[in-house]
Structure 1
Amino acid sequence: MPEEEIQEAQPKKKKGIMGLLMPILIPLVVSLAVSVGVVMFLGNNTQPQTKQSEQATTAAAIPIKAVVIQPGTYQTFMLKGGKEVAVIDSLSFKVGSDQCRSLIAEKNDEIMDALMLIFLSKERTEINTPAGIELLKKQIKNAVNEITGFVGEKEKQGVIDVYLYIKAVSSVQ
């Protein structure tokens, strides 16, 4: 009988050791698997080169102001027929790059010539309506982008928006 008691006691010890290890091993394995899963799911802290360059590009795309006609300096443009003029108080652009702003300053004469041609094709009734003014702004934007070379894919770095203040349209005698 004492032998039977020894044999029964030994399996109890094995169950006791396994019983102690199992509550420790199971949470350890589960927490290790969850940690690996979280790291794989969230990824690492470093960004690939393409994402960094995209962020640099978007940071460079902050709109910049370029002024062609300073506020308060009235510039007149003859309208179609030569009997009326538009008095422009100010004309400025929101541009997508410093390069475009500097090209606008360099090519001011060409831009003023293009503006003259655009206004010469307009009648008073065309620039007295909101739709007419929007069309005028679009034509100015396209002309300046062509002059500065910001067309096609580079258009986002060129003129983004046109700010035009027409003071008056007057008859010339």
Structure 2
Amino acid sequence: MLAVLEIKWSGIALEEWWRNEQFWLIGGTSAHLAAVLQGLLKVIAGIEISFTLTTKSGGDDNDDDFADLYIIKWSFLMIPPITIMMTNLIAIAVGFSRTIYSAIPQWSRLLGGVFFSFWVLAHLYPFAKGLMGRRGRTPTIVFVWSGLIAITISLLWVAINPPAGNNQIGGSFQFP
């Protein structure tokens, strides 16, 4: 509600605010996170990290307003947002399966979790659209690393917070 009041007060259109929120989340999970890590490396270890600026061109497609978004090169900055997207997709699937196969389904808990996962995924939609581009030229290694990290996070979560009535890692089967 506070954000809606700020929008009305400042005269910003709702679509502009939404676009700002999306790019803030994308930047916060990739470039800002990398900047903090690089700053810590510089302060703690004295490691200096440099970068070079490159020019971007829209290519030969003049009909697409977002043609510049499709021209991307692989970077380690892509891994955290992809991991967040995969973790949320895994969380939705696990939430549905836990609710459906539960003795006492907690639908309100599922709806709350799915809502927030979709909220994060909706914020990361421009990143996913730019990542896939027109021809899907993202290297496979980006998806492999992101998938491995997402699976690791999911398994760690299940190990830390096992399903109700199961105190063991590795399933619910018990020897007689």
Q: Which has the higher helix share?
A: 2
Shorter-chain TM-score tier: under 0.3
Query: What is the TM-score normalised by the length of structure 2?
Result: 0.21
Q: Which has the higher strand share?
A: 1
Greater Rg, structure 1 or structure 2?
1
